[in-house]
Structures are given as C-alpha cells and as structure tokens.
A and B are shown apart, each in its own frame.
Chain A
Amino acid sequence: MQTPDGLDDLYQDIILDHYRSPRNQGVLEYPHLHGEGFNPFCGDQVDLTLTLSGDGRIDGVGFLGQGCSISQASGSMLSDQLKGKTIDEAEEFVRTFKGIMQGSDVSQEQEEELGEIAALQGVKQFPVRIKCALLSWTTLQDAINEYRKTVS
C-alpha cells in the first residue's frame, strides 16, 4: 500500500526526526522550573526541567517523555528553542504557539520565531491531535505559573 494522502503534512520529516532523536534528553538535577504533563487518555507524558542563569535567562533544558510522535516531537522542538529566553519571553512563545494551534493566523515574524516548530502547523488538520502537540507547552506554562508563585 502507498503512503495515504495527508500524512506527509502531519508527519513532516523534521517532526519524525525529533521523534526519533529527541533533543535535550533528560531531567536536570537542580531545576529552577519543573513541570510534568500527562494526558491520561492517550498515555502521553512529558517531564520538563529548566535552569536559569544569573540574568534570568533559560540556560539549561531537560526534556523527557513518552508518547505519540506528535507529543514527543513537539516537546523536543520546544526544548530546543527555549535557551536564551527570559521567563516572559518563554511565556509569550507558549501563547503564540497555542494561538496558532487554535487557529490564529501566523505573521511572518512569528513564523520566523517558531523556526522548525512551524512544521507542527500540519497538526491543525487533525483536531484530535492538537492536544498532543500542546502537551509540552501547557506543561511549560504550568511550570512557569509554579515558579512565579515561589518567587513572588
């Protein structure tokens, strides 16, 4: 059987590459931010740990998870682009990505910021998979919310 139509949009090479070789694998030992995400309906799990440098920028990222290709590739891609961002910038990044997955138009500037993460836009055609793509991002938002509680 030939590869059915539509799948190439969903499972782009860059997504499969991140799924097969997730970046920033592991759990950091002394993270400033830590989030664990779980979707009991599909069994997708992610563990996200972040450290901050003296000037408040993310300088270490650990990502560990198991689950479907979309959830894991999305987490790996996110982990790859967090370094150097401040907490506020990371939060803005989450907001942008969530907006896109929920159907907002993407500006040229946003598309550039997303980089290879833009490949996940194909997921929009498969609504049941959107929550897979968002799992790591909502986990990051949870971690940020927790962090804000402890430092404020």
Chain B
Amino acid sequence: MYDVSVIRNDFPILSRQVNGRPLVYLDNAATSQKPQSMIDALVNYYSGYNSNVHRGVHTLSMEATDAYEEARQKIATFINAPSPDNLIFVRNTSEAINLVEYSWAAANLKKGDRVVATEMEHHSNLVPWQHAVAKAEAELKLMKMAEDYSLDLSDLDELLTPQTKLVAFTQMSNVLGTITPAKEIIAAAHRVGALALVDAAQSVPHMPIDVQDLDCDFLAFSGHKMGGPMGIGVLYVKREVLEEMEPFLRGGEMVLEVTYENASWADLPMRFEAGTPSVADSIGLGAAIDYLTTLGMDNIRQHEVKLTSYAIERFKEIEEISTYGPGDMSIRGGVMSFTMGNVHPHDIGQVLDQAGVAIRTGHHCAMPLVRSRLHLPATARASFYLYNTEAEVDSLIDGLKTTLRFFGDANTRRA
C-alpha cells in the first residue's frame, strides 16, 4: 500500500521548517528531495570504498567499479534498456543532449536538413538544436502547442519531410505538465528515416518508461529530479546508433590504446565517458532507482494523478487564478503553472515562502513557451512528487488566498 505518511519519513529534509513553518516543498520539477537510502549510498561510498574505477587491481577499485557498473545495470533495468552498454553517464539532461548534438548531429546534419522539436521544449532541448542547425545550415521546425495545451500533431506529416534527420521532443513539459504521445511521434519520425530523441527529464522520475517499447533512438534524463544526486544524468542510445557516433569528450578512461601520435577508443559505453566519472553520484542514482522501484512507478504516477486532480479542483476556488495545462489527467503530469490576477509570480512566490511553501516563479527555462505562446512575462509553478500530500496542497491554497488579500487591490490598477 502506498502510504505517504510513511514515505515522508524516508526524506529527512521534509521534517525541517522554513520561516517558522513546516516546509511544503512544491518545486519538484526543478529538483526533487532525497531519500535517506540515497544519502546513505553516497556516504557509504565515500566512507567505505572510495576509489577510482576501471583501472585499479586493488580491492577498493574493484568494489567501486562493481558498484558503478551495478548502478548502470539498475538504470538499464529501470528504463528497460537492452543492455547497460546503451547508457552513458553524463552530468544532466542538458549535457546528454549536447553530447548528441556534438557526437551525432555534427556528423549527420547537412545543409538543407531539418530538425523538428516542439514549442514546449525546455531550453536544454532547444538551444543545442538552434546551434546545430545554424552550423549545418539546416532548419529547425516546431510542433505546436494546441489550444488545450496538448501537443498538436495535426501537421506532423507536413513537418516530417524526407529531409528531417532528427525529431527531438519533451515527453513531459516542465511548464504545462503535458505528456506528449511519444510512441506516435517516434514512429512517425522513423517513417521518414529520422531518429528520435526523447527529453525525459520530467517523465522518467514520474512514470514508467520503457525505451524498447518507445523505440526511441536517444533518451535523456537527470538523476536529481528522481531522488538521485545532482551532477549525474543518463543518455540512453540505441546500440546501432551509438556504434556510429564519435566520442564527445576525449581524454582519460575513454581510450583503448594511446601513442604519442594517435589513440583508439575504448568499448561502448566508456568511449563516451572521458575522465574520472561521478562514481558516487552514479551509485547514488542507483540507490534512488532502488527506492523508486520499491514504491513502484505505477503507484507514484497514480499518487501524482490523484494529487494533481485534487489541486486542480482546489485552484478553482480562487477565481483570480488561471492555470496552464491539459485538463485530461491521462496526458498531464504533476505540474501546475498558474497566474493569479495581476499579482506578479515573484510576489506570489515571496508570500508563499514566508509561509514555508516553496514554488518556482519565472519562465522555467522555457522562455519562448511562456512569453510567445502563453503570452505571459512569467508564471508561478507548483510541481508535485511522490511525497506530497493533499494537506500540502491545502497549505498552498491558503498561502495563495493570503497573497490575494495582501495584493488584492492590485487587480483594480491599470490594465
């Protein structure tokens, strides 16, 4: 049984106070809090078997290497990758996507080619492609956001021309919560011979993911949004694609043989992991995945659906509030972007913080979406995770009502 009150005990930070009130942490789309078992894994590594990996004959190095590769196996199992060799450890989603840009796109994008993304992209899955198409003299086209905040697939056939080499899209918008029809988009990309990259930064932490079922060529996510440490992320790449890719960073760890003139590359995936890796953080991510697996990703998704539905209902009590995201929970994650009358999101965030409630305000690293499509300077965003409760949603609503009382008359000022 999924008992949030028990689960919360696994997260030491949730018992702290902020500004004299119990912390209500609703900024999970930015980063998640950490279970004690993950924190223990980091401490155990550094206090028990800290050592460099893949090159020592001594015991500590072998223990560290085993734990590092075991973590890779856990991740492979978690997203149903065919083999741990499909996984490259990186720092975060941005680095994973940059790796694809430099190692794959730089070699494969030619003049006149096309990359397709969506209007909902986080900067991390937009800016690299702007750069890639500019270098290659290719073009970047975007799938549109529909009126109901879903992804508009109506012109997908026109967008996906034979010149399209890559379709790179978010599986869950960090602003709208929209879950995109990834399987359908990937199949459409493959029909025109394009590869498909999934930005799974918001999806892998919150719902079951199966890369073989998706049939994606690349899938990128960060450890820190799923209870893991900061500074560790993962890029999944299909074997046949990975074999054709040139290294991203060159140096230690990634070589087979080096002379003063030349070098040959190590096997996959180490060819893509130059330098000493984040061993502790990889092991920490493995521990976070153990934790998520114990709870069950289906249960986590169900919990968040229930909580988000509750929040949507409670938000309706405040008529000044506008929310931005699909109403259909089957295509909606636990992200609530909103504005409240003329009260600026900064002011909302400030009053809530004084009440111990942490939300995010601004453009959420999706500036074009917020400014050009939602036509807003900024939004406030509450985002949920496996440990949030209805009582915390109540605290949020109370805080918003207080904010309105504070700034209420602002609604009557200039248009």
By beta carbon, the residue of chain A nearest B354 is A4
Give A21's nearest chain B residue, CB to CB: B413
CA distance A57 to B29 in the complex (A): 51
Size bracket, chain A contacts: 20 to 34
- Cβ contacts under 8 Å, A45 to chain B: 377
A14 within 8 A of B: no
Contact among B19, B347, B402 with A68 in the assembled complex (CB-CB below 8 Å): B347
The 0/1 profile, CB within 8 Å of A marked 1, for residues 67-108 of chain B is 000000000000000000000000000000000000000000
Q: Is B180 an interface residue (CB 8 A)?
A: no
Say which one of B136-144, B243-251, B404-412 lies at the interface with A.
B404-412
B269 at the binding interface (Cβ < 8 Å): no
* Bound-state Cα–Cα, A45 to B371, Å: 13
For A1-38 the 0/1 string (1 means CB < 8 A from B) is: 11111110011000010011110010000000000000
A41 touches B407 (CB 8 A): no
In chain A, what residue has the closest Cβ to B377? A43
Task: Tell me which residues across on chain A come within 8 A of B406, comparing CB atoms.
Answer: 3, 7, 11, 16
Q: Smallest Cβ distance from B412 to chain A, in angstroms?
A: 7
Chain A proximity of B250: nearest CB distance (Å): 35
Does residue A66 face the partner (Cβ distance < 8 Å to B)? yes
Within 8 A of B (CB), among A54-85: 66-70
B409: nearest residue on chain A (CB-CB)? A20
A5 B347 Cβ-Cβ under 8 A: no
Q: A3 contacts B350, CB within 8 Å?
A: no
- Enumerate chain A residues within 8 angstroms of B351, measured Cβ to Cβ: 4, 7
Residue total for B at the interface (Cβ-Cβ under 8 A): 31
A42: chain B residues at CB < 8 Å are: 344-346, 361-362, 377-378
A3→B402 contact, CB < 8 A: yes
Q: Contact between B377 and A5 (Cβ–Cβ < 8 Å)?
A: no
Q: Which residues of A contact B414 (CB under 8 A)?
A: 22, 25
Q: CA of A45 to CA of B376 in the docked complex: distance in angstroms?
A: 12
Across-interface contacts of A4 in B (CB, < 8 A) = 19, 21, 351, 354-355, 402
- B177 at the A interface (CB under 8 A): no
Contact, CB under 8 Å: B402 / A69: no
Interchain CB contact under 8 A, A7 and B346: no
Query: CB-CB < 8 A to B413: which residues of A?
Result: 19-22
Most chain B Cβ neighbours within 10 Å, of A6, A10, A19:
A19
Chain B contacts with A in 386-412, Cβ cutoff 8 A: 398-399, 401-402, 405-407, 409-410, 412
Task: Let me know if B363 is at the binding interface, CB within 8 A.
Answer: yes
Which of chain B's residues 1-55 have a Cβ closer than 8 Å to chain A? 19-21
| CA–CA, A16 and B6, complex, Å | 43
Known: A4-B19, A43-B377. A69 touches B412 (CB 8 A): no
Is residue B331 within 8 Å, beta carbon to beta carbon, of the partner chain?
A: no
> Taking the complex as formed, is A132 at the interface, i.e. its CB lies under 8 A from any CB of chain B?
yes
B355 contacts across to A, CB distance below 8 A:
1, 4
* Residue from the set B350, B371, B402 with the largest chain A CB neighbour count within 10 Å: B350
Instruction: Evaluate contact between B346 and A129: CB separation under 8 angstroms.
Output: yes
The answer for the CA separation of A43 and B378 in the assembled complex, in Å, is 6
How far is it, in angstroms, between the C-alpha of A67 and the C-alpha of B402 when the chains are bound?
20
Q: Interface centre among B347, B362, B376, by most A CB within 10 Å?
A: B347
B residues in contact with A67, CB < 8 Å: 344, 346, 377
Closest to B352 in A: A4
> Is there contact, CB below 8 Å, between B346 and A5?
no
Determine the distance from Cα of A44 to Cα of B362 in the docked complex, in whole angstroms. Answer: 10
Q: Which of A84-124 contact B (CB under 8 A)?
A: none
Asked whether, in the complex, the Cβ of B344 is within 8 Å of the Cβ of A68, the reply is yes
Cα-based distance from A11 to B355 in the complex (angstroms): 15
Q: What is the CB-to-nearest-CB distance from B130 to chain A, in angstroms, rounded to a whole number? A: 17
Interfacial residues of chain B within 330-370, with CB under 8 A of chain A in the complex: 344-347, 350-351, 354-355, 361-363, 367
A44→B363 CA distance, assembly (Å): 12
Contact, CB under 8 Å: B350 / A5: no
Are A16 and B402 in touch, CB under 8 angstroms? Answer: no
A6-B19, A68-B344 in contact; A41/B363 too (CB < 8 A)?
yes
Q: Which residue of B lies closest to A69 (CB)?
A: B347
Which residues of A are at the interface with B, using a C-beta cutoff of 8 A? 1-7, 10-11, 16, 19-22, 25, 40-45, 66-70, 126, 129, 132
Q: Lowest 9 CB-CB distances: which A-B pairs, in order?
A: A43-B377, A4-B354, A68-B344, A68-B346, A43-B378, A1-B398, A4-B355, A20-B413, A69-B347
Can you spell out 23 A-B residue pairs with CB atoms less than 8 angstroms apart? A1-B399, A3-B402, A3-B405, A5-B19, A5-B20, A5-B354, A6-B19, A11-B347, A11-B406, A19-B410, A20-B410, A25-B414, A40-B367, A41-B363, A42-B345, A43-B362, A43-B371, A67-B346, A68-B344, A68-B346, A68-B347, A69-B410, A70-B346
Binding site for A on B (CB under 8 A): 19-21, 344-347, 350-351, 354-355, 361-363, 367, 371, 376-378, 398-399, 401-402, 405-407, 409-410, 412-414
